[in-house]
Chain A
Amino acid sequence: MGYEPGGGHVTSIITALAFVVLAPLVGGLVAGVDRKITARMQGRVGPPILQPFYDVAKLFEKEDVTVTPSQNLYIVAYLVFMIVSGAYFFAGGDFLLVIFAFTLAHVFIVLGAYAAYSPYSHIGAERELITLMAYEPMVIFTAVGLYMVTGSFYISDIATSTVPAILYLPGVFVGFLVILTIKLRKSPFDISTSHHAHQELVKGLTTEFAGPVLGKIEIAHWYETVVLLGMIYLFFGFNPVLAIVVIALAYLLEIFIDNTFSRMKWQWTMKSGWGVAATLGFLNLVIVYYLYMGV
């Protein structure tokens, strides 16, 4: 038998199931709060907190129209693998496998966009791949850094570790916040799809999706948000209350950045993602590697 993760299998299955059921609720609420705060920042009243749920419910009421049926297949795969990788994260699984499973999910939505053979979704798909390439090194660094500090790649061990990971990994944490902006597709990095109606992209990646399919993409995004916020938790696993506070603050910061920056060119995304990884991330890891691990 291989390695037994922290809390045992029963706990793992319960937390994984809890994720599958609760994550869309939490993620939807976060999206609702996001829209409310965004509106307030812009001096508007904003929609009700539950608006995202109404929106998705409405999408599922709509007619199923596609350019090509294969699109639907890719989006189902996107949603399924988003849930699987998130569930494995909350089951306490191997961080690296979670990361790679997420990549698989993302490749599926990109393939769905390519499949439509549309100018706007094509450019969105290419841009989405750029963002993927931009954030991937820093995500791996996050896993590696947490491994060095806690001695395990298992989420269950990292989350329950009493080591104050954040004290050893401040650079990695800041780097993670930068790529969090990319991963949440917030300005200035919303280059693959636009929440703010930029015309040259139309809706980029999601241009050719409508109705229930678009609803699935939205739900997958909720799942993803919850996992991303869960990753912040890992830096503060030694103090759950602090962790929750930091998660709230981090998300607030993302909303603030989203509203203060306009979208930049894709080169800026690449430079930011790789830049933080190569500087903050790498230096932090080198210091931990030689001082803390005593190699």
Chain B
Amino acid sequence: MNELIFLILFPCIIAFILLLLPNNRIRDAIVALSGLVISIGSIYLFATSFTGGSVYFPFPFEPTAQVMFVIEMAIALLLLYLGVKFKQYIAVLLVLVQTAVMLYFEMTMAHGLEPMRNLFIDEFSIIMALIIGIIGSLIALYATSYMNTYHEHHPEVRDRRRMFFFVIFVFLSAMFGLVFSNNLLWVFFFWEITTLSSFLLIGYSESEVATNNAFLALKLNLLGGIAFAASFLYLASVDPSGGLLELDTLIASGQSIAIVPAVLICFAGLTKAAQMPFSAWLVGAMVAPTPVSALLHSSTMVKAGVYIIVRFAPVLLGTLAGIAFGLVGAVTFLVASAIAISQTNAKKVLAYSTIANLGLIVACASVGTPELVWAAIMLIIFHAVAKSLLFLCVGTVEHRTGSRDIEDMDGLIVRFPKIAVMMATGIAGMFLAPFGMLISKWAAIEGFIDAPFGIVFVTILAFGSAVTVFFWAKWMGKILSVTPYGENLEGSVSRAKWVVLSSLTVLTVLAALLFPLVSSVLIEPYVLGIYGETARLAQDNIIIMLLMILLLLILPLSLYTSSKESRKLPVYMGGRPTTPDLKFAGSLGIQREMTTRNYYFEEYFGEKKLLHYSNPLCVLLILVAAALVAWGMSQGVVM
């Protein structure tokens, strides 16, 4: 139990230390060092407890719960103050509603609640802890170097780096708390801290757009928070002793009791995981400094949303409400992937790809068969690694070139050879065999076929994955095109960034190499523990995929083995006289430059156009889920 408490409290203590330190190298060193400690801590946790199955710890409920309640109320006051200050009255209203629900719960129902087993650990928690600990720390380390450059480039932004690093570490602490808590009240407490943290980080630059987007994120997440809080009213009224507030007891209590809170909490999960119609907040969140995006997209925030849905997968299994939520995820997957085609802003492409992949995870978890839960957890792992790598690559390029537009990434391989290779690795990790995301997509297809309404999901997946190939491959082609001009600018990238980027690249490849091990050591035991049966890929396929990875790793060597250098010729320019940097004589003797542009198909895959259809559809699906559960409750059946 001490490891858990250490992982929750240590980042928190560091956060307060960082709050006191001015901008200097001591702070950078403390961030690096504590990042290392947190990573080692999570690895130690894995090494010592992965064989233990689910272990529950009777951490005393009081006085921790009282402290949490006080902090919650303080947060509510802070949010109210900020809401009034920025005239965000809807946010104020939502805070008031949520606080009212929690106060009512605390006043009337909380007495006599005595949940015992408040902390726990199982294989899934370990996986999440490794993601938070390792990837979260790497991003924090990257941020030290990034934020220095950020403030050089943006003199207009008030330097609030103390607050920035404070919130980052609080965020990590809250994420650890979230995945280690077996008490739903505590899960909710940490849940709200992550909402607050992302609110503060998105609004970091204090520009009007940043503030508005921060409040958008806050409002949508509060909507989920209210649903989460409402589940406590239900739970405490069903079982006044509070036993059902224990996550494992609730899940084991059977669908007839658990379906209502499951749907409420999974709704909160949908908002946090930026599913349609709530996806706007994650897209808006890209105004924050890039490390924040990396953090929100890979190891924290949205992963909390899918984490809780995966937890409730056994309750949703076989229910129509689960199917409806699954369809929300599937529609989000397809539409967000399609929108990604039409975006030229690299961060926006990444944002929509995150939303899409979260959609796939939600679809898998909500349908909830063992095979699909296996696929969902795989997706969480692979997505965290590859997406953080991609965000940080884009951030690095943006700082050096001043643009995050994919159209400006021509010849990245010439100007930033190493970063281009890393970025290409990250992209490959997102959509190509034999890398991770594809393995999971494949497992998802095989899983859905045998699930109810499976054919609808398989169809959506087939189209969605075709779209995915298109938008990633054209980006990859852009950065790997070898322009005949351009010089290497990589020398100016700082060492901390190199360490982080190379670590994440190695992790992306390692994840693909080691996934059979991750599966057999962690995911299969977890799925087995929940369902009594488990899923895995066939041995033959694993061998073939490992062979493919090895092949990919040795292929670049063939560049060095060819005995004779091939003769280089300029490209074919239709017979026009062309200069070496591809300027040619156009009509009327005007000199023009050859440039290439990718397809974006705005007229087919435009953001507004598609959201216009998908958002109402997803609202409808959520309402259907709610109606089904409500009707089922009145009839005494589980829908």
Contacts and interface: CB of A to CB of B under 8 A. Distances in A.
A70 interface: yes
A77 interface: yes
Interface in A139-156: 140-141, 144, 147-148, 153
Contacts of B455: 285-286, 289
Nearest to A102: B433
Interface stretch (A40-48, A58-66, A217-225, A232-240): A58-66
Nearest to A266: B599
Interface in A205-252: 207-208
A72 B542 CA distance: 29
B571 A64 contact: no
Interface string A121-145: 1100110011011101100110010
Given A73-B556, A114-B478, A130-B470, A5 B411 contact: no
B480 A133 contact: no
Contacts of B152: none
Contact of A72 (B466, B473, B566, B567): B566
Contact of A144 (B413, B449, B463, B481): B449
Interface in B581-639: 582, 594, 596, 598-599
Contacts of B461: 140
A96 interface: yes
Interface string B432-473: 111000100010011001001011001101110111011001
Contacts of B466: 132-134, 136-137
Contacts of A122: 481, 596
A94 interface: yes
A100 interface: yes
A202 B572 CA distance: 9
A64 B566 contact: yes
B24 interface: no
Interface string A89-118: 000011011001101100100110111111
Nearest to A70: B482
A148 B449 contact: yes
B544 A116 contact: no
A202 B455 CA distance: 42
A3 interface: yes
A132 B470 contact: yes
Interface string B490-504: 000000000000000
B555 A295 contact: no
B494 to A, nearest CB: 28
Contacts of A103: 432-433, 469
B483 A73 contact: no
Interface in B542-582: 542, 544-545, 547-548, 551-552, 555-556, 558-559, 562, 564-574, 582
Contacts of A68: 482, 568
Interface in B403-452: 410-411, 413, 432-434, 438, 442, 445-446, 449, 452
Contacts of A285: 455, 458-459
A20 B411 CA distance: 36
Interface string A67-92: 11110110011001100100010000
B452 A295 contact: yes
Contact of B541 (A2, A111, A129, A286): A2
A151 B539 CA distance: 19
A67 B599 contact: no
Given A77-B555, A285-B455, A140 B445 contact: yes
Contacts of A69: 559, 565-566, 568
A115 B536 CA distance: 38
B454 to A, nearest CB: 7
Majority-rule SS of A interface residues: helix
A77 B474 CA distance: 18
B-side interface size class: 35 or more
Given A80-B555, A119-B596, A110 B572 contact: no
Nearest to B467: A133
Contacts of A97: 433, 442, 541, 544-545
Contacts of B463: 137, 274, 277-278
A193 to B, nearest CB: 14
Contacts of B565: 69
Contacts of A153: 446
B540 interface: yes
Nearest to B573: A119
B172 to A, nearest CB: 35
A113 B337 CA distance: 24
A1 B539 contact: yes
Interface in B316-346: none
Given A64-B566, A114-B480, A133-B467, A100 B571 contact: no
Contacts of A64: 564, 566-567
B254 interface: no
A80 B550 CA distance: 13
A176 interface: no
A107 B432 contact: yes
Contacts of A126: 474, 598-599
B484 interface: yes
Interface of B: 410-411, 413, 432-434, 438, 442, 445-446, 449, 452, 454-455, 458-459, 461-463, 465-467, 469-470, 473-474, 476-478, 480-484, 536-542, 544-545, 547-548, 551-552, 555-556, 558-559, 562, 564-574, 582, 594, 596, 598-599
14 contacts: A2-B540, A69-B559, A69-B565, A80-B555, A94-B538, A97-B545, A100-B432, A101-B434, A104-B432, A118-B571, A120-B571, A126-B599, A136-B469, A274-B463
Nearest 10 A/B pairs, CB to CB: A2-B539, A114-B477, A2-B538, A118-B571, A136-B466, A100-B433, A64-B566, A140-B462, A68-B482, A137-B462
